[in-house]
Amino acid sequence: MKNMKLSSLKMRLFLIVFASTAVIGGCTVLLIIFIAVQNELQESKQQVYQLMDAVEYSAAIAGYSGNKEIANDVIKGLLRSDNVCQARLYNKTGLDIASSKYTGENKCPETIARDLHSPFDEQEIVGHLETRMDNTFIRERARREAGQLAISLLALIILPGLVIWQTIARLITIPIHYLSRQLHQITPGTSARIKSISGRKEDEIVQLAHDVNHLLGVVEDTLIEEREQRLLIKEMKQKYQHLAHHDMLTGLPNRSLFADRLQQMLAQAKRSISHGALVYLDLDKFKPVNDTLGHDVGDLVLKEIAQRLQTAVRESDTVARIGGDEFVVLLPTIESKQDAGTVAEKIRHALDQPFEIGEHTIHIGCSIGIAVYPEHGDDEISLMKNADTAMYQAKQNGRNNVQMYFEGMNPYSVAGKWPTDTAET
């Protein structure tokens, strides 16, 4: 503007625009102030009416009962409004409660009065409620708000289009592009969030960033919860699968899992042309333990037996409980029958040792039968039956011994289960 002459078109246009803006802006400011004051007065009066509507019932009760405490609460409630500077509640029976925000000169010339009717008879007037509006405060507030609005309007009128465009770009376009660029770099479900715009106050763009971050948080929480649910379902599935395939007391594989492991052992042995053994054992003196010491002690004995069995075999072997006092051990990939006999003797020796359960010293022992694949059977039924037969032979031979199945051994059992024997096992 230093090089602009007063007579130049550019300067004249500037002066015309400035003068026009000043005149239009000035008139607009005056009009805005006038309208704002009138609207503020009308709106404030309406608010006072609404406030009186809200307290009318309580005021009527105070007027009807002469209760000064209720009357004081009503007056205090009215004076909490910025639009009310004085309030009074009175009746003919001597109740007269009044309060004012100001002392001295009367700053509250406009009075709004209302008759209070009995809560029980709408025809009966039990008191009067008066409020005075704080017009001075209302006008000052209206002028202040109108002045702020007018200044904003003048700024919008004076600012050239380029500045407006740059302002819009700085306030909206650039921040949105900034948010979009960050959002494209964020992977949903991670803890990454949109960074706040430096130096920017709370507005719609900042709120948008907050909302997006909130949404990202919800997505992260949802994905975390989903992962936790999947993990929980997996754990529950594993738990129930374990319960379905394991003995609840000892934790050993049950009959169902044993049958599956037996099929796997036979399939592997057939593929690799190797040997496998099934060791069938039945406890010799367990029934008297339950009968004399109780099932709680018997359960502790069974748990200790399970631990000794697992200690006596390899990790690759399977120890299973298939009945009350019946256990089986699968020995995959053995070199010979002698290997199975060695393991069985180790098991017999382990269970022949006394069990210290509380104050009781218990002797159990076991009878063990062995069947080896493929010599003593090439399928589950025959192998199980022959091991069971060998175990029964061990019982017949005086118990607490190991018997290897051989061809011609008396097949006393049927499908792996013995007839009920009343004799002590």
Q: What is the pLDDT of residue 239?
A: 85
Q: Is the Cβ–Cβ distance between 336 and 343 less than 8 Å?
A: no
> What does each C-alpha distance from 382 to 262, 374, 377 come to in angstroms?
12, 10, 5
Q: What is the pLDDT of residue 255?
A: 94
For strands 360-362 and 355-357, give the pairing: antiparallel
* Fold category of 255-404 in CATH: Alpha-Beta Plaits (3.30.70)
Say what the pTM is. Answer: 0.49
Find all residues with CB under 8 Å of 114, minimum gap 6, and list them.
52, 56, 128, 129, 130
Q: What is the pLDDT of residue 2?
A: 47
Find all residues with CB under 8 Å of 365, minimum gap 6, and list them.
283, 284, 285, 348, 351, 352, 399, 400
Q: What is the pLDDT of residue 44?
A: 74
Higher confidence at residue 79 or residue 421?
79
The region of weakest confidence among 39-43, 218-222, 376-380 is 39-43
pLDDT above 60: residue 361: yes
For a pLDDT cut of 70, what percent of the chain falls above it? 80
Q: What is the pLDDT of residues 178-217, one digit of tens each?
A: 777 888 888 877 878 877 777 667 777 777 778 888 888 8
Which residues, listed in sequence order, are joined to residue 331 by a DSSP beta bridge? 277
Q: How confident is the model at residue 150 (pLDDT cuts 50, 70, 90)?
A: low
Q: What is the pLDDT of residue 162?
A: 56
Q: Is the Cβ–Cβ distance between 331 and 343 less than 8 Å?
A: yes
Q: How confident is the model at residue 423 (pLDDT cuts 50, 70, 90)?
A: very low
Q: Is the Cβ–Cβ distance between 322 and 254 less than 8 Å?
A: yes
Q: Is the Cβ–Cβ distance between 279 and 387 less than 8 Å?
A: yes
Q: What is the pLDDT of residues 255-308, one digit of tens each?
A: 999 999 999 999 999 999 999 999 999 999 899 999 999 999 999 999 999 999
Mean pLDDT of 364-370: 95
Q: How confident is the model at residue 163 (pLDDT cuts 50, 70, 90)?
A: low
Q: What is the pLDDT of residues 308-321, one digit of tens each?
A: 999 999 999 999 99
Classify 417 as helix, strand or coil: strand
- The domain 9-142: what is its CATH number? 3.30.450
Tokens of 41: 């007065």
Report the distance separating Cα 262 and Cα 384, nearest Å. Answer: 9
Find all residues with CB under 8 Å of 375, minimum gap 6, and list them.
275, 337
Q: Is the Cβ–Cβ distance between 254 and 320 less than 8 Å?
A: yes
Higher confidence at residue 413 or residue 254?
254
For strands 402-404 and 366-373, give the pairing: parallel
Q: In whole numbers, what is the pLDDT of the chain averaged over residues?
A: 81
Mean pLDDT of 33-45: 74
Residue among 247, 179, 245, 249 at smallest CA distance from 216:
179
Higher confidence at residue 410 or residue 93?
93
Per-residue H/E/C for 219-280: HHHHHHHHHHHHHHHHHHHHHHHHHHHECCCCCCECHHHHHHHHHHHHHHHHHHCCEEEEEE
Q: How confident is the model at residue 169 (pLDDT cuts 50, 70, 90)?
A: low
Report the distance separating Cα 46 and Cα 48, nearest Å. Answer: 5
Q: How confident is the model at residue 407 (pLDDT cuts 50, 70, 90)?
A: confident
Catalytic residue among 325, 339, 388, 421: 325
Mean pLDDT of 391-401: 93
Q: How confident is the model at residue 164 (pLDDT cuts 50, 70, 90)?
A: low
Q: What is the pLDDT of residues 214-231, one digit of tens each?
A: 888 888 888 888 888 999
Report the distance separating Cα 352 and Cα 345, nearest Å. Answer: 10
Counts for the chain of helices (H) and strands (E), in that order: 11, 11
Q: What is the pLDDT of residues 88-146, one digit of tens each?
A: 888 888 888 888 887 755 667 778 888 888 888 888 888 888 888 777 777 777 777 77
Report the distance separating Cα 115 and Cα 52, nearest Å. Answer: 11
Find all residues with CB under 8 Å of 248, minimum gap 6, and list them.
none
Q: What is the pLDDT of residue 155?
A: 65
Report the distance separating Cα 277 and Cα 262, nearest Å. Answer: 10
Higher confidence at residue 51 or residue 397?
397
Q: What is the pLDDT of residue 24?
A: 65
pLDDT above 90: residue 6: no
Q: How confident is the model at residue 23 (pLDDT cuts 50, 70, 90)?
A: low
Q: What is the pLDDT of residue 281?
A: 96
DSSP label at 375?
Answer: T
Mean pLDDT of 144-169: 64
Q: Is the Cβ–Cβ distance between 400 and 348 less than 8 Å?
A: yes
Q: Is the Cβ–Cβ distance between 300 and 250 less than 8 Å?
A: no
Report the distance separating Cα 299 and Cα 250, nearest Å. Answer: 8
Active site residue 378: no
Find all residues with CB under 8 Å of 336, minimum gap 6, and list them.
275
Tokens of 382: 């025959």
Residue among 250, 256, 278 at smallest CA distance from 368:
278
